[in-house]
Amino acid sequence: MILEIENLNKTYSNGVQALKDVSLTIKTGMFGLLGQNGAGKSTLMRTVATLQDADSGTIRFDGIDVAKEPGKLREVLGYLPQEFGVYPTATAMELLTHIADMKGITHAGERKDQVEAIIKKVNLWEARSKKLGGYSGGMKQRFGIAQALLGNPRLIIVDEPTAGLDPMERNRFYNLLSEIGENTVVILSTHIVEDVSTLCNQMAIIGKGEVLLTGKPGEIEAGLNERVWEKQIEKHELQDYEDTMNVISSRFHLGKLMITVVADDLPDGNFWSKAPSLEDAYFNVLYNERSNLAATVMA
């Protein structure tokens, strides 16, 4: 099973070009689509989920041409949108039963079995008869995953699922997602690096509607081997370092500023070498994107 996105373009009526020639090949397993707010992730996810059209390009999944056969795609799709509203007065049991019905699981016994199995899977069994309006953010997200999993989809899209979850809820959500079947294509769209490093075996970084990098997280990290350096500096020194070095990130650590620099050689004797993390690789891609943009503006 494979999802093939080729040369997808989308410009909104306000002139924003949200997708620029996006091409991605996504195989079974967990695929992370990482990008900042406004990068074009939701536009891409909604297009794959048949909720909006691209201006040009094609999307194929397992023999289905998504633009030409949206109904067929919906039969195999599980989708958790970024904004997932629930009917506050319905219980989990009621709403899942209704959604299962709409997904074509019309046999009452089969529907009950599936709904109950999924509620247990997402750990909401105890709360199955509570009104959804009283659910916490984490419970709502787990309910969202439950509705996406109904009907055994082969393509699952989750858009920004962990934004707004506390660390415990996020962990539970990770565990749940990592249990999803191996014969499924799962796309996780997120601006949180940890989501991708924890869960995904393939990934892409997207920025301003363009695919900036694709690969396995480990390979992407390894691309920076022996090129990441750290140093503790005073806050007022930051500008100097930014003017002379590729400072990809800076953060406060015990009252001092810690900067991370990418360079082929040790920048100066007070830096120390650091094993690259996925976050470093991501910041480096964003840094290069900003530099390219600045160079274009100046030219």
Interface residue list for ligand ADP (CB under 6 A): 12, 14, 16, 18, 35, 37-43
Distance of CA 101 to the CA centre of its chain: 28
Tell me the closest approach of the beta carbon of residue 160 to ligand ADP, in angstroms: 7
- CB contact set of 80 (below 8 Å; sequence gap of 6+): 141, 144, 145, 147, 148, 156, 157, 158, 159, 161
Tell me the closest approach of the beta carbon of residue 39 to ligand ADP, in angstroms: 4
Q: Which is nearer to ligand ADP, 14 or 296 (CB)?
A: 14
- AA identity, residue 116: E
Tell me the closest approach of the beta carbon of residue 159 to ligand ADP, in angstroms: 7
- AA identity, residue 244: T
Tell me the closest approach of the beta carbon of residue 282 to ligand ADP, in angstroms: 14
Q: Which is nearer to ligand ADP, 12 or 125 (CB)?
A: 12
Tell me the closest approach of the beta carbon of residue 203 to ligand ADP, in angstroms: 15
Q: Which is nearer to ligand ADP, 16 or 293 (CB)?
A: 16
Q: Which is nearer to ligand ADP, 105 or 148 (CB)?
A: 148
Q: Which is nearer to ligand ADP, 203 or 224 (CB)?
A: 203
Tell me the closest approach of the beta carbon of residue 265 to ligand ADP, in angstroms: 35
Q: Which is nearer to ligand ADP, 82 or 249 (CB)?
A: 82
Q: State how far the Cα of 212 lies from the Cα of 170, in Å rounded to an integer.
A: 27
CB 186 within 8 A of CB 177: yes
